[in-house]
A and B are shown apart, each in its own frame.
Chain A
Amino acid sequence: MIVFQTFLVLVMIVAALAAARFGDLLDAVIACALVSLMASIIFYFLQAPDVAMAEASIGAGLTTAIFIFAINRSIRYEENEKTD
């Protein structure tokens, strides 16, 4: 089981790096949802099901919806920063 937890942490790290690197903000939000999912499973493994439930409800449900509302009101694609 400790191997599987390590695997979940690695998936979480890869998803977090992908969220940081995606230029499309919708893709970044989707990757953030994956990070939150993995965090929820890890809390569940650590025998804290109430924390896992809170993480699932807030992270996977509410945060994704709120970020999507924010993208809908602003821009979807990341603009290149001008370095002058």
Chain B
Amino acid sequence: MSHLVFVTIIGAGILLCLLRMLKGPTSADRAVAVDTVATVTTALLVLLAFVFKRYVYLDVALVYSVLTFIGAVAIARYMEGGL
């Protein structure tokens, strides 16, 4: 039952970030919104590893957080102008 509460809160977070990604006046707003979705998603993956009772799935969250960081750094360097 508590899983439903967790999943609802995480879904609300993803929805709000999606709205900011659609509305955002500048590209920086959109980049930060997608990066926030990546962070929330990492929490979701850890939570699902707990729900499914398979702790091998935690590796996916690790790889996920490291690799989305690379994308965020690439976007930030491009917007800074120093790529």
Residue positions of A touching B, CB distance < 8 A: 1, 4, 7-8, 11, 14-15, 18, 24, 26-27, 29-31, 33-34, 37, 40-41, 44-45, 47, 49, 52-53, 56-57, 60-61, 64-65, 68-69, 71-72
CA distance A24 to B26 in the complex (A): 10
CB contacts (< 8 Å) of B83 on chain A: these are 68-69, 72
Q: Is the interface of A mostly helix, strand, loop or mixed?
A: helix
On whether the beta carbons of B71 and A64 are closer than 8 Å, the reply is yes
CA distance A34 to B52 in the complex (A): 24
On whether the beta carbons of A11 and B75 are closer than 8 Å, the reply is no
CA distance A61 to B71 in the complex (A): 5
CA distance A56 to B61 in the complex (A): 10
